[in-house]
Amino acid sequence: MLNAKQIAKIQKQVAIKVDAQIKKQDNQLKQQEILRKEVQKKDFETNILPHFLQIRKEITSIKNQSPDKGECFCVWNSKVYVLIDNFVKETQFNQNAIDAQHFDLIKDNQDKKYYQMTKEAFEIETQIYAWITKNFVTLKISITKAKLDTPDLFSLYSLGLLSGEFLEKFPTKTIHDLIAYFNIIDNQLHSLK
């Protein structure tokens, strides 16, 4: 039979072996993660970065050729990319906007299509953002209170009045558009914090 000293010695040896094995596994996982990141980086550099550079070049060129028009973007691989602070970024996309003729197809390069907002649509967008900015505080309070379990009547009334005014002022837009525009401005304000 083993005495307490021998048991402690065996336990210590087992603990050392287990610790060594855990450390070895941790190192293997770290190496795998490093390799995975290197593969991702090489894949990005060879397969995606050249496309992003081309998209940035084309969007910059289009914007420089017609600065009085609105937003310009590229549709590539069923995703929409815009130029923000000279970086290509994926963004939300509303297929109805293109279908409704709010954007002109400026350039069609094989798998990439470049669109720019029409001048008329740009003017309407500018008016919408000005109207929402003017009414932002009331919209924010009304929408926030309307989301509560028991919204107060004044908030619902205010929201109804503003919704009606929006639809009257911009007849081609819907309540969903109002919410979408409001959310864009609200998100931009939150990102400034």
pLDDT of residue 185: 83
Residue scoring higher pLDDT (108 or 188): 108
What is the average pLDDT across 151-165?
86
Percent of the chain whose pLDDT exceeds 70: 91
Q: Give tens-digit pLDDT for 4-22.
A: 888 888 888 888 999 999 9
| Cα end-to-end span (Å), the chain | 69
Say whether pLDDT at 96 is over 90. no
Check: CB of residue 146 under 8 Å from CB of residue 97: no
What is the average pLDDT across 144-168?
84
